[in-house]
Amino acid sequence: MHTYLNIAQIIAAVVLTVVILLQVSGGGLGGIFGQPDSTYRSRRGMEKTLFQFTIVLVILFIVLSILSIRLV
């Protein structure tokens, strides 16, 4: 059981990393070169779905981590 939780935690961590990197790549490189990014934008479409999926993955990762610690 503990092995399955570890494998699930590793998979969740890899998928979470990929999803976070996909969100960052959508932000552009304007902040690196000093371009002000003070405009407010609401998330729409795929960006909103990706954001909500990130939240679900974070919750799943935290639950898996707690279960992994509890079963040791």
> Who's near 5: CB < 8 A, 6+ residues apart?
64, 67, 68, 71
Residues in the chain: 72
Say if pTM beats, i.e. exceeds, 0.85: no
Question: 66 in helix, strand or coil?
Answer: helix
Residue 37 near residue 31 (C-beta atoms within 8 A):
yes
Distance from first CA to last CA of the chain, Å, rounded?
Answer: 10
Residue 68: the pLDDT is 92
Q: What are phi and psi of 32, to 5 degrees?
A: -70, -40
pLDDT single digits (tens) 52-72? 999 999 999 999 999 999 987
Residue 36: the pLDDT is 57
Flag whether pLDDT at 9 surpasses 90.
yes
